[in-house]
Structure 1
Amino acid sequence: MPEFEARDRAQQVNIGGDNTGPVTVTTMHQTTPPPRPVVTATLRRDAATFVGRDQELKRILRAAGSGRVVSIHTIDGMAGVGKTALAVRAAHKLKARFPDGQYFVSLHAHTPGQAPADPFEVLAGLLGDLGVDPHALPDTLSGRCDLWRDRLAGKRILLVLDDARDHAQIEPLLPGGYECLTLVTSRRRLVALDGALPLALDVLEPEPAGALFITLAGREVGSDADRVAVADIVRRCGYLPLAIVLLAGRLAHHPAWSITELASEFAAADRLAALEAGDRAVRAAFTLSYRDLTSRQQLLFRRVGLHPGRDFEAAAAAALADIPVKVAQGELEALYVDHLLEETLPGRYRLHDLLRDYVRTLVTSAPVIDNDRAVDRLLDYYQRTADAAEHYLPHRTRFASAQPTVTDFHDRVGASAWMHRERANLLACLELTATDQPARMVELTGVLAGMLDRDGTWLHARRLHERAVEVAARLGDRIGQANALTNLGIVCEQTGDYQEAADLHRQALKIFQDSDHWHGQADVLTTLGVMQTWTANYREAADLLRQALRICQDIGYRSGEATALGALGLVGTWTGDYEKAAALQQRALEMAQNVGHRYSEIFSCVGLGLMRMWTGKYDEATRMQQRALEISREIGSRVGQADVLTNLGLIQICTGNYREAADLSRHALAMCQDIGFRRGEAGALIVLGQVWIGIGNFDEAAALEQRALEISRDIRFRWGESLASLCLGLVRTWTGKYDEADPLQQRALEISREVDDRYTQASVLGALGLLRARTGDYRKAADLYQQAVTLSREIGYRFVEATALTGLGLVRVRTGDYREAADLYQRALTLSREIGNRSIEASALRGLGVVRAWTGDYGQAADLYEQALGIHREIGHRRGEVIALNELGTLLCETGCVHDALKAFTTAHDMAREIGSRREQARALDGLVRCQVTLSATDTALPNLAEARDLYRKIGAPEADTAAAYPTELQASPQHS
């Protein structure tokens, strides 16, 4: 920041009245979450008027030019001498030489009421500018320092570190190489900063000081008397730019005044001694402006000095001064005109750090009780308004809360915008209460839990909630303690610490039970129940949710009842009890609609949509998810929108509409990245990767799943890590990279067991069974598939059980045990029909068709393939339809119905190309080649064979080797010869 305090004479900059201009400050904590573009230019605006620093500027430019041997330059001097202005001007002159970025960071060594910037936090902001997500940041200073220097390796960036405290604060922020340039300003001589080239800056010389005053005052010096008056004024200002700027500004806004009159008034006020006395110089200049204010403006000026944040809006100032907001707006504008406030954004103001010093001296003269009451009004304003805003911003920590009692906002847009603007102030208020008002701190932390949850800065959120738990316990605030424990538990859930989360929720539940706090009990039981579904503990989840449901019904807690019902329906969905799940979700949906609880309505729509998806009712599933999407958009829940878009993508995968699935998944991914929703980003990447697996683009699928894996590891999203490992392992299996697939699947299995996620365990066991089958280890494959079947049956997840049965059936076919294979496929068929999953039903029918074909019952095999084909068409599963057509074509070709086979393969080829499934397209081409060879159409077969071979190679499929051997056979065929 610019600084103004005079002790010595020298030369200086004319900052054109902009010494108190807006500052771009790199901060650690961004709002929930904003877009994550790479930011490369955060330099402060260069001043239009620059006077008196030509020599110093040339020295910096010359030393920092090409061939420089020093990459760190320090500008030190007293407050207000113009260090920042010189650094900014030099930076703008040099920025073209540093194309990779130019950054301005205020280190707040002398910002009253604000602690010097912690390098740990500063690095978070700088790394964020480079595009590093907050969730990916190391938890240690050395780790962040290493990451910062690593990201700058080979780059040329310009870094301005303004208002530094000492070398210890600066060292971690310095780039590692000489390609970068760092300009440092400080009130201290940084003797301990090794390798830096120092530049000591002093006040202005008389002539530049006079030029500065005349320019800013906008006056013509037409007489010797005026010239003498100007010289007298700048001399009495001690040649300190801040005093000169203020006095010149006053003259510019009073056209009736003359330079000589101002000089006489200034002299009569006996200001010379004050201006020559260092700190008192600034104070005298401020006092002159302060005395010119009305009494109400003086009161407002004093009160805004009590604000703990960086900047503020009119409503906060009105609360401090206890005046109407419209009145505050007018008075703030008056203070801005008098250069006593800076306007950072339209309607938002800040005090320069030295002005804040001055106003604090005024505040201390007021009665303590008046100051305390003013601060209480400010805290009341922020707490009340934040609480009202949070009711428009649904999140997990408030999914069962009552309707808002304060309506400061008309919609979510206004609420979200306010929370975005005031995030730093809310956290500053929270820290203010930590010392003086611990009870309020506990309450305010709870109010801000949603904001912290949306931010995704789990480490910071955890510290705040832990503090609230500790303080509430010390104060004997049992309900506050329980609420804090619940919020802390949710943070642990988000980071995958499920066991700790469960322990914290149970502690909160015990307190609520001891206090007969029924609403709290219901909320915690529901939270625990939902969490158990994530770890596939469905029996315990159902028990907890039933307890919550009974309490909600007993006390008439309708919104809580709707949420509990929806969660119970979700349990039924996961366990395959679809009929009961549908009834529960429908009841929950109707109840949520009746009580107007939008979050519960979304929850129920999503649950119904998932259930319909698993049962193969894709049209209905799409309708429910679309409804959830509409509500999410209505209430402005971008997290909800991203989740639903991902679900819609999954449905499109099931129906084989890969292009639509890709579009939806990309939309979800972009939204997650835009709001910084890392968990959602990992989920969207996983689904998008499944799209590419489905269409056979294994390279792209591997890249996406690898990114999802890395994000999940970064944010400790254990479920995402295990699922991404599972999918990446499947990619490696399908491409024949079995050595790479095995450790990925083993890691997925390990994580799912660690977090007791038995659903993923069952899925991984099935994937490992596929891997072993592909490598010919059928005994091990059978064992793994059987484990998947057993575990799925144990947890009641019949969808996975049916899928594993089809896999085990395929193993039995490969080992020639057709009777056992037929039995397994029949069991899968029966189970799929019981749970209503048409997709698995079709797969089981196809499997039975394979068995019948191998045992010579070709007629029955063809009929089974036709049944499977009909189901795939009925439910819109286009990829399944393509697979069935290819299998039917193979059967027809082998049984001599070559023309019918040719028709089936042609249809499969066209559809596979349409949906983008390169693997099935290659299979269809392969089948066409077989038919064409049989029909002696070798010339037609050759281009099809070449296309099939290319497709196999592009997706890394092992069939490429077999296809590569065909040309020799075709060349030797009678027709070709």
Structure 2
Amino acid sequence: MGSLKVLRPDGQPHTFERRHSRILAVLLLSPNQVVNRDYLIDAVWDETPPATAGRQLQNCISHLRQQLPGAGGWKHVIAAEPAGYRIHLDTGELDAQVFEAAVAAAQHHQAAGHLADAATRLREALALWQGPALAGMTGRTIEAASARLNEHRLTALENCLELELQQGRCAPNVPELVELVTAHPLRERMVGLLMRALHGTGRKSEALQAYDRLRRHLADELGLDPGSQLQELHTSLLRHEPASVAIGQTAFRQLPVPAKHFVGRDSALGELDRLAAEAGGETVTITVIHGTGGIGKTALGIRWAHRAAAQFPDGQLFVNLRGFHPTREPMPAAEAIRGFLDAFAIAAEQIPVSLEAQANLYRTLLAGRRMLIVLDNARDADQVRPLLPGGSGCMVIITSRNELTGLVAMEGAHPLTLGLLSEQEAHHLLSSHLGRARLDAEPGAVADLITRCAQLPLALAIIAARAAAHPTFPLATFSAELADTQRRLDAVDGGDHITGVRPIFSWSYQRLSTPAAHLFRLLGLHRGPDVTVPAAANLAAIPSSLARQLLSDLARAHLVTEHKLGRYTFHDLLSAYAIEQAQTFDGEAERRGAVRRLLTYDLYAAAAADALVAPHRRRTPLPDHAPPSDLPCFGDHAEALAWLEVERGNLVAAVRQAWEGEEFEIGWRLANLLWGLFHLEKHWGDWIGTHQIGLDCARACGNRKAEFTMLSSLGTAYRELGRLDDARGFHEQALQVSRDDGDRHSEAQALNGIGAVLGAAQLTEQARRYLEWSLEIRREIGDRWGEAITICNLGEQDLDDGLLDQAREHFLEALRIRQEIGDRWGEAITLNCLGQACHQAGQHSEAVRHLHAALTIHRQTRDFALEALDLRYLGMSYRQLGERKSSQACLNEAAAIYARLGMPEAEQVRALLADDSELIN
């Protein structure tokens, strides 16, 4: 409030370079709030930022961080946030905050009838001002903020003078009012205060002269007459009546009819209620309801406006700003203001020419009124700003497909993101159209409709309207239409260029830049649940920096949603629209190339993760060409496994897309690279599904080694699931492939797999025979890793046969080999087997030692199934040692892990716990 100053401990101001001052000012204008990075860049360089603006901004922030702690002992931090920066301030450290708090306190005093206290607080607030806000600073953003702050000061000053006049302080205020009117000759409220002060001191003729001067100024400069309130004051002075302003008000009721089938949105309605209650008429409350097309923004705004109309006794204004319209351009702010001025019955000849003058007149008319203004379908912040009230008492509801972050940052607007309906809300919407009986008759079709309409209100309403028009049609008919991806958007066509889902999406799409529109189309080719910046960059063959910017543009337009930091998604109907546009504007070769780039990125990224998740596996070389850009880097096993888990949905979808797009080599390779994830996390459906597709891919491209790999992995999956016949069938197919190709290494692996299945089926003699054949080959070819596996499997057969000493010898031999070759995964398995052997031999303390060693490694490698096995046998050994508490803790944890992994062993462990409980009882 004055020039920007940061005071040192000695009271002297700290100086900043111009760009640093602008950045600091913009951050201070939104204390403790995130200021968007792009907004800061625009504030520093206006509309012509250099190519290096982002890096320069970082440098400026770094410089400010270094300066500020020495500029008065500040403990604040300019924190980097995902979207920008935030400056942390405590209460009382920023003069603007102190001013606003004092003004709010004055309003509370006034509401309680304590006029003197209210005036005193306002004078204290006004004393904080040392000159025009942000004096000496330039730039579009700074100047807009300065104008807003200066308007707040003048409004507070007018309120203060009003209160003082009401207490009879007329003469002392005349000099101040004369000076103010001279500085602001067209400010009608100020002139009115001067007239009342002059009249109160017996200077009626001067009061009338003040009115006459204003009348001439308005006529000469704006072609207007004074407003009705000032005219009434003038008339009262001529009639020798008390110099008060009788405010004649007309209530305006411009709200459209609310939607008949509005359902749900309780949280959003409650948030609007809360914002209105917190403001209490003491400030201008601005709320931006934003979301994708067809989400119900207008319906929500109108519904709440009708519900809250009684809180705004002076009326409700409404305008459709046509920010997104199929045939018409966005409404200019001047046209919107003109419509509002017409509502106030301002004669055409009295409406000024310039937009600024019109906005000032509009704000003057709103002053002192308690009104609700609904600005529907806004394009951007610039379209909205001239329509915002200047004083307190009004509330503004803005709906837009864009986030309007500028209004949030500078005008303090409250963002309210509107998402898709919940399943329950979607069901209620269909029920309101079709009746509960019709929905109850086809619950499956209803669930499909809700899913295939993506829980989008507009799509559900169109489907419901079509179903209502054909009451004899089964709902499954409409669900089948939506299931056809080629006809999905036709099924939710409203029959005109306004109400269908396709045109609704097109309005947002047509506003995109060419690069953003291109990326949006290509995103429709991505089959996974979401996309990251690096994946999008490879899909579109653009740098990651550009991909990040374009994804942000799409998110602001609500054509994608950043549902997690750096992860973007859109619902099925938007995906269908994107695919339509890609098929229209992008050739088949371009589309295939984009998909191939994305699949290649997935392949290389998965390979980097798998190398850490399953380092013991034999690696299959990747295709011999340059790797994609922006591949992830992993610090350790845990990071790699976490990435695979997060990306699982995308990678599983990529395997299927590779098959459908005839990228067979990528398909089987990618499935193979997911083995480590599936083995550790036991995602049975994904494991079997991807590897079955991988098997099809391997056979389609005639790769026998790949075919063997897929068969072998499927056999392992089915064995761990307990489906032993299926498991043996896949391993026997793998054995045949290996023998046909003369591949001794693969033959040994297949024999070992069959032996493990036979052992699980308690066919120990047959199992031992296959395992010994496998061991013979593995020793012959020098496969030390495979040799240890088979020796360990033989030890397990010894355990089943009660040959405990022989089992122990096998396990110790396998442990020695695995420690020699650095196979930590295999080492942990062998330690578990040793623990089991000791347990069966009654050596329970020794068993606990081996099992704890195995548990430590399995927790490090996040092998949950084997962790549960360690815990299971620890629980059993602790029981034998009489340590019931430790036993139950281990068994409970094992049961929980097995249950989470969907493994049948969960019931077996629960049975152990039940037996233990009976023993205790």
| Band the TM-score falls in, shorter-chain normalisation | 0.3 to 0.5
* Higher helix content, 1 or 2: 1
TM-score (norm 1): 0.44
TM-score (norm 2): 0.46
Which structure exhibits the higher relative contact order, with contacts defined as CA atoms closer than 8 Å and separated by 6 or more residues? Answer: 1
In our comparison, the structure showing a higher alpha carbon Rg is 2
